Amino acid sequence: DGIRREVQTMSLTDHPNLLKAHCSFTNDHSLWVVMPYMAGGSCLHIMKSAYAEGFEEPVIATLLREVLKALVYLHSHGHIHRDVK
């Protein structure tokens, strides 16, 4: 039930730093979530393939600022995120 609530929240959010869920469905007792295709792959994939030595501090600061903008948006709409990575 918590996952369904999270998917519903994802479908209602409207912020450039948050992935939007297009829809969700169940098939053989499995929940599937349809999300936008990310041509560059996940953030982790990009980090490992293009920045094997890690990011410079200014890049880290920019990334964290954008994550915080998304969290402020969620909190201002009454949502919390329990799994920030």
Percent of the chain with pLDDT over 70: 99
DSSP states of 6-39? HHHHHHH---TTSPPP-EEEEETTEEEEE----T
Per residue in 60-79, pLDDT (tens digit) is 999 999 999 999 999 999 88
Q: How many degrees, rounded to 5, is the angle at CA 35 between CA 34 and CA 40? A: 135
pLDDT band at 15 (very low <50, low <70, confident <90, very high): very high
Q: What tokens were used for 10?
A: 């994802």
Q: What is the DSSP letter of 34?
A: E
Catalytic annotation, pick one of 1, 14, 28, 83: 83
Helices (H) and strands (E) in the chain, counts: 3, 2
Find where tokens 């996952």 sit. Answer: 3
Find where tokens 């402020």 sit. Answer: 72
Q: What is the pLDDT of residue 82?
A: 74
Domains of the chain: 2-76 (3.30.200)
Backbone angles phi, psi at 26, to 5 degrees: -110, 145
**Does the model's pTM come out above 0.85?**
no
Q: Is residue 28 annotated as a catalytic residue, yes or no?
A: no
